[in-house]
Chain A
Amino acid sequence: MNLTHEEQAFREEVRNFLEENFPKDIQQKARNHIPLSKDDHVRWQKILFEKGWAAENWPLEYGGTGWTHVQKHIFAEECAQAYAPEVIAFGMRMVAPVIFTFGNEEQKKRFLPDILASNVWWCQGYSEPNAGSDLASLKTTATRDGDDYIVNGTKSWTTLGHWADWIFCLVKTGGPDTKAQESISFLLIDMQTPGVTVSPIITLDGRREVNEVHFDNVRVPVVNRIGDEGKGWTYAKELLTHERTGIARVAHSKVRLRDLKKLARSTPSGDGTLAEDPIFRHKVADIELDLLALEYTELRTLAAVSTGKAPGPESSILKIKGSGIGQLIDELYLEVAGHHALPFVPEQFDMAFCGDFVGPWYAADTAPHYFNYRKTTIYGGSNEIQKNIISKFVLGL
């Protein structure tokens, strides 16, 4: 990509900033595929906040960066190169845009600063055990009682809900006769409120990342509702397609491919190395090409956004291709690890681990990562649902 002088200078600035400010211990963990703690994420986000770089997708007036799409791309690329984690989306990318777009002044003042400064950790309460792809069929109810709603129901798959202070929920406010989509409201709930309990769901990597959140007669002040009653579905939907920067995870995949190639050069295969193996080379090249195309698809989408066009349903391409490419790379990592992908020694994922590693360090997480990342084609609107969106809204089928 041809960068202007300013863009080149921006790249330098980001690179230098990361070099000086991205904590080395977090970098070390990320590079060694050790899961980050809540503190790691918060520490890094606060550093970005101090610099004024916390919220690239917010308008300037609320503390956003005001970056162009090329700058956002550069920033993502440099962060990935440095193994800096992406900003956790729930607060910064998901609930904040709902608040600054549809919330009242009071709500903006109350919630946005703490999101920007990473003082409050948010989680997303949309899905339920029986409402996944068909989100509009959700059952959690919020019944009006004076100045409060009484909330009852169960949210499922709440990512990092056990770290969260607040949850943003879609709840049912209409009576039984209201049309599904018109009876849903957008509610912010303090997780400390009596009646809220969080229980773990263990995923295939053996870790706790998702949860069930139960609401048992939870009292939520009506002032915590964003926008109008019954309009929550519209708000949530409008924002789903609105900002999809980063969803393709292009920069991240590029770095993973680069590291993979390095590992393949020292992995024996036949009489040479895996890097010399024609079948393996072919597979890597194939993914690289797809990734290159995706990079430009993303840039095109971002360019359209920056001229004021909402990206619309085309952005589903980014989700489908981005997740698929990521999963193919996961498979290649399994191949590089060979039989060393088999051991499952969770203690090794602890920074304080001082025993002998089983096999090469990079192998330990390859299988758990592969298992866990099957989720990327399921969550955030499964790939099947994304394809339905494209066929309906783009192709008009």
Chain B
Amino acid sequence: MNFSLNEEQLMLQDSVRKFVLAEYGFENRQKRQRSVPGYALENWNTMAELGWLSLLLQENYGGFNGGARDLAVVMEEMGRGLIVEPFLASAVLCSSLLQRLASEAQKDRWLPQLASGETLMALACWEGSNAFDLRRVSTRAEKCDAGYVLNGTKAVVLNGAEADWLLVSANTERGLSVFLLDARQSGVQVHGYPTVDGGRAAEITFRDVRLPSTALVGAEGMALPGLEYAVDLATLAVCAEALGIMQTLLEKTVEYSKTRQQFGQPIGRFQALQHRMVDMFMECQQARSILLMATTSWDDTVRSEEERRRAVSAAKARIGKAGRLIGQEAVQIHGGIGVTDELDVGHYFKRLTVICQLFGNSDRHLRRFADASW
């Protein structure tokens, strides 16, 4: 088994790492995150230029044809920088969904625009309190002469207010379907807001939104596997992001414990803290291993969907657990300064907490893993 990164992955890692180091200081990040639209356009353009936005796209759309391991390489480094650009929303969720679901004509039209960053898309697929259950959709698209009429409400759409186009899941007569529509179309009401981790999301309501039949993405009623695929890949992406964050928190905590003096010595001299940092270290290592297992399974096309699901949930369940421990310990060992807005540690902790929640928490994935393992 080959666990080391290949030439291309090393280059990719290097370029994201350099970008984060050079352009993405914590203060800059905080400034951008508080601005409108919540991120920096010049960063977004850089990401497009460096080819990251087309990472997952096939070569005939100008893409890198990247797999889960390539994505993990990028996301881990982005996690280290606490990136606020809508990479996950647009370049992961929407790109992979379109690629999986859309017709050739739709792909020809949209994928290059996603790759160049000129179009920003968001995926609106969760509702009400049905936390991360893709099948529970009460949004409906009724057939009419010219196409469909869409009605419903979507919750916590990542980067929903900044997106130009929306991918929306809705039930039709034939079952779960996905539509692509202009976010500024009449009848679409978008209520954007910041999220607790410095990101952006929106509640979106569709009231008698008229759609041409070309708005349907792929075949009617056949959207679930595609949606699952996209969300599973995004789940792996945030697992990798979490790994970058956990690694950073571990490093920062160890570093801090060597400099912070109490009782006439660095707090890192106290064994009570040493062992806990060792636990953090071990959790990071275990997280890295399970992520490697999951991304390798994903890229191994021989595996069945069932196995893929099992691998993704294994990673999410474990990393959720590791993330909770590492986030909480990092704050605790920093003491009072750890719960302040001023220090970056608290912001890594916040993003990690959100990732633990995102796409279903540890328990949900533990259940899914168990269901796929018996």
Interface residues of A, Cβ cutoff 8 Å to B: 127, 130, 132-134, 137, 156-157, 201-204, 206, 210, 266-270, 277, 279-280, 331, 334-335, 338-345, 356, 358-360, 367-368, 370-372, 374-375, 377-379, 382-384, 387-388
CB of A397 to closest CB in B, whole Å: 12
Give the docked Cα–Cα distance between A170 and B175 (Å): 69
Chain A residues whose CB sits within 8 angstroms of the CB of B155 once the complex forms: 339-340, 359
The answer on a CB contact under 8 Å between B191 and A133 is no
Residue of A nearest to B354 (CB): A342
With A and B bound together, what is the CA distance between A370 and B353 in angstroms?
Answer: 10
Q: Report how far A331 CA is from B130 CA in the complex, Å.
A: 18
B366 at the interface (CB under 8 A from A): yes
Contact B354 A268 (CB under 8 A): no
- Mask: chain B, 195-217; 1 = CB below 8 Å from A; 0 = not: 11101010100000000000000
Asked if A339 and B357 sit within 8 Å, CB to CB, the answer is: yes
Within 335-374 of B, Cβ neighbours of A (below 8 Å) are at 335-336, 338-342, 346, 349-350, 353-354, 357-358, 361, 363-364, 366-367
Residue on A nearest B131 in the bound complex, by CB: A338
Tell me the complex Cα distance, A377–B156, Å: 31
Contact in complex: B156, A268 (CB < 8 Å): no
Q: Let me know if B3 is at the binding interface, CB within 8 A.
A: no
- Minimum CB–CB distance for B211 against chain A, Å: 25
Q: Are A156 and B201 interface neighbours, CB within 8 A?
A: no
Given the known inter-chain contacts A132-B335, A133-B335, please indicate yes or no for A343 contacting B340, CB distance below 8 A: no
Q: Is B301 an interface residue (CB 8 A)?
A: no
CB-defined A-B contacts under 8 Å, sample of 6: A203-B341, A270-B367, A279-B366, A280-B363, A338-B129, A388-B272
Closest chain B CB from A97 CB (angstroms): 24
Which B residues are within 8 Å of any A CB, using their own CB? Answer: 126, 129-133, 136, 155-156, 191, 193-197, 199, 201, 203, 261-264, 267, 270, 272-273, 324, 328, 331-332, 335-336, 338-342, 346, 349-350, 353-354, 357-358, 361, 363-364, 366-367
Q: Is the CB of A339 within 8 A of B340?
A: no
User: For A377, what are the chain B residues with a Cβ–Cβ distance below 8 Å?
Assistant: 332
On whether A371 and B349 interact (CB within 8 A), knowing A203-B341, A339-B131, A339-B132, the answer reads yes
Contact A203 B339 (CB under 8 A): yes
Residue in B closest to A344 when the chains form the complex, CB atoms: B196
User: With contacts A268-B136, A384-B273 known, is A203 near B193, CB below 8 A?
Assistant: no
Complex contacts, B263 vs chain A, CB 8 Å? 133-134, 137
Q: Which of B126, B199, B335, B342 contacts A378 (CB 8 A)?
A: B335
Is there an interface contact between A268 and B130, defined as CB atoms closer than 8 Å?
yes
CB-defined contacts of B132 to chain A, threshold 8 Å: 338-339
Residues of A within 8 A of B130 (CB): 268
What chain A residues lie within 8 Å of B196 (beta carbons)?
341-344, 367-368, 371
Q: What is the CA–CA distance of A133 and B257 in the complex, to the nearest angstrom?
A: 14
Q: Which residues of B contact A156 (CB under 8 A)?
A: 336
Instruction: For the complex of A and B, list the 5 residue pairs with the smallest distance between their C-beta atoms, beginning with the closest.
Output: A338-B131, A134-B262, A202-B341, A367-B196, A344-B196
A268 engages B133 (CB within 8 Å): yes
Residues of B within 8 A of A370 (CB): 353
Contacts of A358 on B, CB cut-off 8 Å?
A: 191, 193, 203
In the complex, given contacts A204-B341, A341-B357, A374-B338, what are 4 additional A-B residue pairs having Cβ atoms less than 8 angstroms apart?
A: A157-B336, A338-B131, A356-B203, A367-B353
| Chain B residues with CB below 8 A from A269, complex form | 131, 364
Interface SS of A by simple majority: mixed
On chain A, the residues within 8 Å of B350 by CB distance are 204, 367, 371
Contact B201 A127 (CB under 8 A): no
> Quick check: A344 and B193 within 8 Å, CB to CB?
yes
Given A202-B341, A267-B129, the answer on whether A371 and B336 have CB atoms closer than 8 Å is no
Whether A206 pairs with B341 at a CB distance below 8 angstroms is: yes
> Please, how many angstroms separate the alpha-carbon atoms of A17 and B331 in the complex?
41
- Are B339 and A378 in contact, CB atoms less than 8 angstroms apart? yes
Cα separation A284 to B341 with both chains bound (whole Å):
31
From residue B263, how far is it (CB to closest CB) to chain A in Å?
5
- Give bound CA distance, A268 to B335, whole Å: 37
Q: Which residues of A contact B353 (CB under 8 A)?
A: 334, 367, 370-371
Chain A residues within an 8 Å CB radius of B331: 374, 378
A335 to B132, CA, bound (A): 12
Q: How far is the CA of A281 from the CA of B357 in the complex (A)?
A: 18
Q: Kindly list chain A residues whose C-beta atoms are within 8 Å of the C-beta of B324.
A: 331
| Closest partner residue, chain A, to B368 (CB atom) | A270
Q: Give the chain B neighbours of A268 by CB distance below 8 A.
A: 129-131, 133, 136
Residues of A within 8 A of B199 (CB): 342
Expressed in whole angstroms, the minimum distance between the Cβ of B167 and any Cβ of chain A is: 17
**A169 CA to B311 CA, complexed, in Å:** 56
Interface centre among B131, B197, B270 (most CB of A within 10 A): B131
Contact B339 A204 (CB under 8 A): yes
- How far, in whole Å, are A156 and B342 apart by their CA atoms in the complex? 14
A127 touches B366 (CB 8 A): no
A296 to chain B, nearest CB (A): 27
Whether A378 and B129, one on each chain, are in contact in the complex, defined by CB atoms closer than 8 angstroms, is: no
B328 in contact with A133 (CB, 8 Å):
no
Evaluate contact between B336 and A335: CB separation under 8 angstroms. Answer: no
Complex Cα distance, B361 from A203, in Å, reads 25
Q: How far apart are the CA atoms of A231 and B354 in the complex, in Å?
A: 48
- Taking the closest CB of chain B, its distance from the CB of A25, in whole angstroms, is 26
Please measure, in the bound complex, the distance between the C-alpha atom of A372 and the C-alpha atom of B349, giving whole angstroms.
12
Closest A residue to B359 by beta carbon equals A339
List the A residue with the shortest CB-CB distance to B366: A279
The distance in angstroms between the C-alpha atoms of A338 and B339, with both chains bound, is: 23
A8 CA to B51 CA, complexed, in Å: 72
Residues on A with C-beta less than 8 A from B346 are 204, 371
- In the bound complex, do residue B363 and residue A201 qualify as a contact, i.e. CB atoms below 8 Å apart? no
Select B340's contact among A137, A203, A345, beta carbons within 8 Å. Answer: A203
In the complex, A335→B130 CA distance in Å? 12
Q: Which residues of B contact A201 (CB under 8 A)?
A: 340, 342
Return chain A residues, CB-CB under 8 Å to B272: 384, 387-388
Q: How far is the CB of A348 from chain B (nearest CB, A)?
A: 10
Cross-chain contact B339 with A374 (CB below 8 angstroms): yes
Cα distance, A315 to B335, chains bound together (Å): 21
- Assess the B126–A339 pair: CB atoms within 8 A: yes
Q: Which residues of chain B are near A383, meaning CB under 8 Å?
A: 332
Q: When the two chains form their complex, are residues A343 and B201 in contact, meaning their CB atoms are under 8 A apart?
A: yes
Residues of B contacting A339 in the complex (Cβ-Cβ under 8 angstroms):
126, 131-132, 155-156, 357-358
Contacts of B336 in A (CB 8 A): 127, 132, 156-157, 210, 375, 378-379
Residues of B within 8 A of A203 (CB): 339-341
Q: Which residues of A contact B193 (CB under 8 A)?
A: 343-345, 358
B339 adjacent to A356 (CB under 8 Å) = no
Q: Report B337 CB to chain A, min CB distance, Å.
A: 9
Closest chain B residue, CB of each to CB of A334: B357
Q: Which of B136, B201, B342, B364 contacts A202 (CB 8 A)?
A: B342
